[in-house]
Amino acid sequence: MLRNKKDAHQLVESSLKDINWSSLIQGRTFYPSSTAWEDEVLYFLLVDRFSDGKEYGGFANLNGASVNDPTAKRKTPLFEIEKKAWKANRQTWFEAGKTWCGGNIIGLKGKLGYLKRLGVTAVWLSLIFSQVAGSDTYQGYRIHNFLDVDGKFGTREELKDFVAAAHSIGIRVILDIILNHVGNVFAYQGGPRFYLDGKQWPCKASDKRTATQVVYRLS
């Protein structure tokens, strides 16, 4: 079954069986994987903390033009450590670091020139998959759909545009993925349960809008 993604006006698969694989690979030329990953210059970044596409000053775009002046979209000057270090309220910064800061895929694309001039050949993104609604996990660890991009980071189209732009300048893109756990999408009936002896424990969806009683088996 497909669900409608309102913000992107497109259908998003909820299961691998919904994907039309033939349409994805037909007539496509795929960017080759590295023959020796140990020779790549890898740059890992936390998407939420990297760029929101609004900063200016101290870097150049993909075409080499300096991004030094504010515009209608770029209103945030880069942090100047010599002038601003140790002047902000510590508690304010500490609290701000506990939640979303606003970094997104559009911001990543705007910094490809910066990454290229650093000598980066492969960029590794933190988790960007769609999370449980209301999650405060800017790291991306409360996933509920591995086939979609979380709206706080952007859309699937923006991700494809970013990857295509990165490939065009010789930068590979690695997507982080966590398969051994997801967001809090269910709860055990009667409270916490111990994982023991392959027993069956009754549980239900934590979201009452889609709640159906299921049995979770640990083997």
pLDDT of residue 165: 95
Residues 160 and 191 in one domain: no
Give the count of domains, the chain: 2
Domain shared by 60 and 136, yes or no: yes
- State whether 94 and 199 are in the same domain: no
The bridge status of strand 42-45 relative to strand 10-13 is unpaired
Question: Is 27 part of a structural domain of the chain?
Answer: no
Say yes or no: 94 and 138 in one domain: yes
- Domain check: are 51 and 148 in the same one? yes
Mean pLDDT, residues 69-89 taken together: 87
Do residue 146 and residue 107 come from a single domain?
yes
pTM score: 0.81
Residue 68 lies in a domain: yes
* Amino acid residing at 73: K
Phi-psi region of 76 (alpha: psi -120 to 50; beta: other; left: phi over 0): beta
pLDDT at 205: 67
- Domain of 191? 186-217
The CATH number of the domain holding residue 44 is 3.20.20.80
Could you read off the pLDDT of 108-118 as tens digits, one per residue?
A: 999 999 999 99
**pLDDT-derived band of residue 89, with 50, 70 and 90 as boundaries?**
confident
